[in-house]
Structure 1
Amino acid sequence: MTRRPYATPEQLTAWTGAPVPDDAEQLLRRASEDVDSALLTAVYPVDADGDPTDPATAAALADATCAQVEYWLATGDDGTGAAGHWDSVSIGPVSLSGRTRAPSAAGGGVDLAPRADRALRRAGLEPGIVFPW
């Protein structure tokens, strides 16, 4: 089953204040997958399609998805995780420099953008934390 993204291109425009890129729908789908992976252990009510039923939860997931895409756009990533985190690399005799700060690894091993992580935490959706039932 392919899920709908948590956010729309219109929500992304509102979040960033900029026109969306041509591949916005693909980026939003990838970002939604990252949010899902980060929240692998989160518990919240969903409907038959797996969409959140609580409007506040839905808004937090949309915000986190937009924040993830915003981060990728700012860092030149395309949501694949292939964007470099070094501004200079040499092969011999091995020289790396200018390591940029990577986003924190959330639950599920996902590199979640800082603003995405904050949006989820503010909503009480703690990535990677298991709560007793």
Structure 2
Amino acid sequence: MAYATEAEFAAFLAPDSPPAHARRLLDTASDQIDELIRFAVYEVDAEGDPVSVKVTDALTKATIYQAHYLMTTGDETGANANVSSMSQGGLSIARSFSSGGSGRSPRYSENAIGVLRLQGILPIRPRTR
């Protein structure tokens, strides 16, 4: 189940209309938010839903940002992650990567990450050897 509704997504996109596949975008975005918060710690109820309204609101907002990112990039599957230049109709996208970079497009919206970070539910785990 998505963290955001189609109505919330439509309100965010207003005055533009949501795409016909808005539900799929929200479901995919929610799955990706779940990837980001996999090791997050917050209180949940018996159904596993967050108890805190702030956490719920952050998950909704992050999901909407992520769905918008997926919609804008047109890459729900990640299949174009290594594309450095693309044209489709009147749209042309070119991404520049530093020589030290991974050569991949970011998987997650920076806005979504920021919302989760500000709410303290983006887990940061130190690497150990």
Q: How far did residue 58 of structure 1 move?
A: 0.5
Which has the higher mean CA deviation after the structures are superposed, 54-63 or 43-52?
43-52
Query: Normalised by the size of structure 1, how large is the TM-score?
Result: 0.73
What stretches of structure 2 of length at least 5 have no aligned partner?
87-93, 98-104
Matched, 1:125 2:121: yes
**Quick check: 1:12 aligned with 2:9?**
yes
For residues 96 and 43 of structure 2, the distance between their equivalents in structure 1, rounded to whole angstroms, comes to 37
| Residue 48 (structure 1) shift | 2.3
Structure 1: 5+ residue stretches without partners:
89-97, 104-110
Hey, what's the Cα distance between the residues in 2 that align with 1:70 and 1:52? 23
2:36 counterpart (38, 50, 54): 38
Corresponding residue for residue 73 of structure 1: 71
Q: Secondary structure at 1:48's aligned position in 2?
A: coil
**What is the RMSD of the two structures over their aligned residues, measured on CA atoms?**
1.9
* 1:83 maps to 2:80: yes
**Is the 8 Å Cα contact of residues 42 and 130 (structure 1) preserved in structure 2?**
no
**Counterpart mapping for 1:100-115 below 5 A:** 100=96, 102-103=105-106, 111-115=107-111
Q: CA deviation at 1:32?
A: 0.5
User: Sequence identity of aligned pairs in percent?
Assistant: 36
The ranges of structure 1 where at least 4 consecutive aligned residues each deviate by more than 3 angstroms after the TM superposition are 98-101
SS in 1 for 2:27: helix
For residues 66 and 83 of structure 1, the distance between their equivalents in structure 2, rounded to whole angstroms, comes to 21
1:58-87 CA-to-partner distances (Å, cap 9, x unmatched) read 01000110000111111112x211235321
Q: How many residues align?
A: 110
- Letter of the aligned partner of 1:63 in structure 2? K
TM-score for the superposition, normalised by structure 2: 0.75
